[in-house]
Amino acid sequence: MEIKPVNPIQCGPLTIGDGRLTLIAGPCMAETLEVCLETAEFLKNLTAELNVQYIFKASYDKANRTSNDSKRGPGMERGLEMLAEVKRRFDVPVITDVHEHEEVPRVAEVADVLQIPAFLCRQTDLLHAAGESGRAVNIKKGQFMAPEDMLGAVEKVRSTGNDRVMLTERGTTFGYHNLVVDMRSLMTMRSFGVPVVFDATHSVQLPGGLGNASGGRREFVYPLARAAAAVGIDVLFTEVHPRPDEAWSDGPNSLDFRQIREILTKVKAIHDLVGNI
């Protein structure tokens, strides 16, 4: 396999793929402004302390919840107001999911990075709209996708003239209610010349594992994140919540502040070591 040099991309004021480690993190859902601000403040200070770049993440709408009765979020307008306030108050770039191509122009007014959810990584109109926005685009690899097949998604964005693309590994379906991570996918997707992201918290999710909601195995976030850093990543993605057991979405696989400090410290050390070998 030929591993091409990564094409660094701009995400707001940050450059991704130039050798520095970046953290994408925040609550799964933009539950309240207070939760967003509390999380962003902690992570902004932590990443500054560890010399890691930071992008705040929260979704204004979780459109693929297990149950019809599950909370989905504040909606686009209120959610974008929250993201804009985080961006203004802490001077950090922000990323959020887009689910429909009609949403893209409005979301691109606020978000520095548009995220394509894993289940939508083949949606041509959505990928084209995201590319045409001119914003950086993070495409999550579908749980049903081989890593080599993600080149097609990258090319759909690039066809718009936008080369600011990165790809995220977030586990592959393994039987019912379980995901596994094939670390080879990080090398495969990096061979496309794009920065690669490891989503350490969604990779330990148990989709639908609680019957009316998804479960998770939080204890496996730490070893998987370390393994990914050893293989080589540009970005670590984690869901972080001040009180994960109270989170409206993905609480079982979210990290609290103590856990993300411990994990990010170790991942940064491994990332720096691998980068110097």
Domain ranges of the chain: 9-275
Structure tokens at 67: 């149950």
Determine if the pTM surpasses 0.85: yes
For residues 76 and 84, the answer to whether their CB atoms sit within 8 Å is no
Give the model's pLDDT for residue 65: 58
Using CA atoms, how far apart are residues 147 and 60, in angstroms rounded to an integer? 28
Using CA atoms, how far apart are residues 82 and 100, in angstroms rounded to an integer? 20
Nearest to 43 by CA among 64, 60, 61, 58: 58
Give the model's pLDDT for residue 128: 98
Interacting residues of 197 by C-beta distance below 8 A, sequence separation 6+: 24, 138, 166, 167, 168, 169, 233, 234, 235, 236, 237
**What is the CATH architecture of 9-275?**
Alpha-Beta Barrel (3.20)
Give the model's pLDDT for residue 251: 83
Q: Distance of alpha carbon 40 from its chain centroid, rounded?
A: 15
Give the model's pLDDT for residue 232: 94
For residues 86 and 94, the answer to whether their CB atoms sit within 8 Å is yes
pLDDT averages per 10-residue partition of the chain, 277 residues: 78 95 96 97 98 97 69 88 98 97 98 97 98 98 97 98 98 90 96 96 77 69 96 97 90 93 97 82
Cross-strand pairs, 255: 240
Cα-based torsion angle of the residue sequence 215, 41, 64, 211 in order, rounded to the nearest 10 degrees? 20
The one-character DSSP state at 52 is -
Using CA atoms, how far apart are residues 160 and 156, in angstroms rounded to an integer? 7
Helical H segments across the chain, by residue range: 33-50, 76-90, 104-108, 124-132, 151-158, 184-190, 221-231, 257-275
Give the model's pLDDT for residue 54: 98
Burial of residue 77, with CB atoms counted within 10 A of its CB: 0-12 exposed, 13-18 middle, 19 or more buried: exposed
